[in-house]
Structure 1
Amino acid sequence: MTYLVFICGHAGTGKTTLARRLIAPLMTAAGSAFCLLDKDTLYGGYSAAAMGLLTNDPNDRDSPLFLQHLRDPEYRGLIDTARDNLALGIGALVVAPLSREVRERKLFDRAWLGVGDDVEIRVVWVSTLEETARQRILERGDPNDAYKLAHWDEYRQRRFVPSAESSVGLLKFDNTAPDTQDYDALLARIVGA
């Protein structure tokens, strides 16, 4: 069995930290190899170069220009890379906000993902309080977050809490202050133990 696991949520919720903590236990529990595909790692350099040319701001990841022209191709490339690994029998742990795709239920759409019934899909929605996320963003000091912080009221309007309809099938994880039992419970839900 091959797994496609999405770790989704807004900036500052701890998606990457969670994925890095889960990947080794996930490989053990699933009994198979996984690759970690983090959108920022895969596309950060490319997006910095493109936005530097387009706007003279290589750290822009939230302006309307970025969201309209680069966001979707980045996500498509991320999913295509996951699919290539799945075809080789390697599970994929995909880290990206993917909030629009969660809201539109695309991450459960096998045709949109391009995967067959032999792939187990898990979508983890990572959350934390808005102020906690904002504090984490401030503390990490990533220049890519400058637009978010400078336009926080606009950015926070894009933050959403999955509704009852968009929550179906989501594995929700509160990453405010999880303990070992919380991580173990999430791992069990991912592998269906």
Structure 2
Amino acid sequence: MHREEIGLTLEDTGEKLREIAERHGFKIAANFQTIWGHEKGSVYPGPHYRRAYCRLYRRNEAQLGFRKALPGEDAPVESVPVPASAERKLPDQSDAVRKALSSIREGTDDVDSEALLNRVVNAWSSTAGASTDGPPMILVGGYAGSGKSEFAKFLGRLTGWPILDKDSLTRPLVDQLLVSLGGEAHDRSSKLYLEKVRPLEYRCLMEAAWDNLDCGIPVILDAPFVKEFSQADWMQRLQNRCRSKRVSVATIWVKCDIESMREYIEFRGAARDAWKMEAWEEYAAGLNVEFRPQGPHFVVDNRLGAAVALVDEARDVLSGGGL
């Protein structure tokens, strides 16, 4: 229905989807047989296809019928015929950015999401005046597959602030360290990893962050932070150290539903996730979807991929993507 409204053939649609895939780094082939299978309902599109369809048709997944709408999210829309030759105007860039950032909500009463949003937008637009505030440290945490890395990268692109990803910084060393200690390279669930290796991973991450902050350079930290965020004393020490260095700190927790996390973990097929998939019921039983960090924090609601979809939209607008 949406394809015909904008006058696209199956071949045209495949070409547009491949352009979108290249722009966003989606892994899809987008041949007309697959698209026809999606339209007939004989094949259900995977996460990257769904995100590409959302960008092509300017609709979210709920509006395209892939899932139910979240509370407060736009309801499914009725078909409105659009002439084949009509060009659909892209949203204003600032509006798209603010819309994507609006998924950051106050998790506690002592934080100000509007202030954080304005700081990020100002950094992106390069219109902010001189500030007496110190460099910001943003910690983006969440369970595996929750969408935290997507959101951290979005913040990094908007602001130009460096992203320190725990896995990117430490994975090769961690894999070799586990092997040297008699474990398996991709193990992330054993006592050996949790007690001997994991603390070193996070120490490396935090030390790299402080090196940047000491030079006045903002940082965005991308890691699960589940253990750290659950410890009030760890959080308080972080706040104290930031205060002593005149660093403003923002803790963001990306929440997601179990099934969406499983889909994304299965989709990425990372070796470090092998145990999770083999013992999913055991792993999932240890997840608390209602988990929230101790102390001041923000929450991004990425249940059913809703927040990441807004990020895709904003990224598309910023790149000038259109039909």
TM-score (norm 2): 0.50
How many positions carry a matched residue from both structures? Answer: 176
| 1:16 positional shift | 1.2
Query: In the aligned structure 1, how far is the partner of 2:282 from the partner of 2:241?
Result: 33
- Cα offsets for 1:96-115 (capped at 9, x unmatched): 10111111135632457743
Residue equivalent to 2:50:
none
What is the aligned counterpart of 2:231 among 104, 107, 111?
104
Query: In the aligned structure 2, how far is the partner of 1:122 from the partner of 1:135?
Result: 28
Q: Does 1:44 align with 2:171?
A: yes
SS of residue paired to 1:116:
helix
Query: In the aligned structure 2, how far is the partner of 1:26 from the partner of 1:61?
Result: 32
- Cα offsets for 1:69-118 (capped at 9, x unmatched): 11111112211110111000001100110111111135632457743341
SS of residue paired to 2:178:
helix
Please provide the CA RMSD for this pair.
Answer: 2.4
What is the aligned counterpart of 2:213 among 76, 86, 93?
86
Residue equivalent to 1:8:
141
Q: Does 1:159 align with 2:292?
A: no
**Compared CA separation, residues 112 and 120, structure 1 to 2 (3 A):** closer
**Compared CA separation, residues 125 and 65, structure 1 to 2 (3 A):** same
Select the structure with the greater relative contact order (CA < 8 A; seq sep ≥ 6): 1
Q: Does 1:20 align with 2:153?
A: yes
Query: In the aligned structure 1, how far is the partner of 2:255 from the partner of 2:291?
Result: 10
| 1:137 positional shift | 0.3
Query: In the aligned structure 2, how far is the partner of 1:114 from the partner of 1:73?
Result: 19
Residue equivalent to 1:189:
none
- TM alignment of 1:1-193, pairs within 5 A: 1-27=134-160, 34-55=161-182, 57-106=184-233, 108-110=235-237, 114-117=241-244, 118-160=246-288, 161-162=290-291, 166=293, 168-175=295-302, 176-178=305-307, 179-180=309-310
**Compared CA separation, residues 91 and 127, structure 1 to 2 (3 A):** same
**Compared CA separation, residues 158 and 116, structure 1 to 2 (3 A):** same
Greater C-alpha Rg: 2
| 1:20 positional shift | 0.9
- Cα offsets for 1:144-191 (capped at 9, x unmatched): 10122223233224322325xx4542211012222448998xxxxxxx
SS of residue paired to 2:242:
coil
**Compared CA separation, residues 156 and 6, structure 1 to 2 (3 A):** same
SS of residue paired to 1:89:
coil
SS of residue paired to 1:109:
helix
Letter in 2 for 1:177: A
More helix by share: 1
Query: In the aligned structure 2, how far is the partner of 1:50 from the partner of 1:20?
Result: 28
Q: How much identity, in percent, do the aligned residues show? A: 29
Query: In the aligned structure 2, how far is the partner of 1:98 from the partner of 1:158?
Result: 15
Query: In the aligned structure 1, how far is the partner of 2:311 from the partner of 2:208?
Result: 32
Structure 2: 5+ residue stretches without partners:
1-133, 315-323
2:239–2:249 CA contact under 8 A, matched in 1: no
| 1:9 positional shift | 0.5
Residue equivalent to 1:188:
none
**Compared CA separation, residues 8 and 106, structure 1 to 2 (3 A):** farther
Query: In the aligned structure 2, how far is the partner of 1:26 from the partner of 1:106?
Result: 30
TM-score (norm 1): 0.81
Structure 1: 5+ residue stretches without partners:
28-33, 185-193
Query: In the aligned structure 2, how far is the partner of 1:60 from the partner of 1:72?
Result: 15
Query: In the aligned structure 1, how far is the partner of 2:215 from the partner of 2:281?
Result: 43
Query: In the aligned structure 1, how far is the partner of 2:150 from the partner of 2:238?
Result: 30
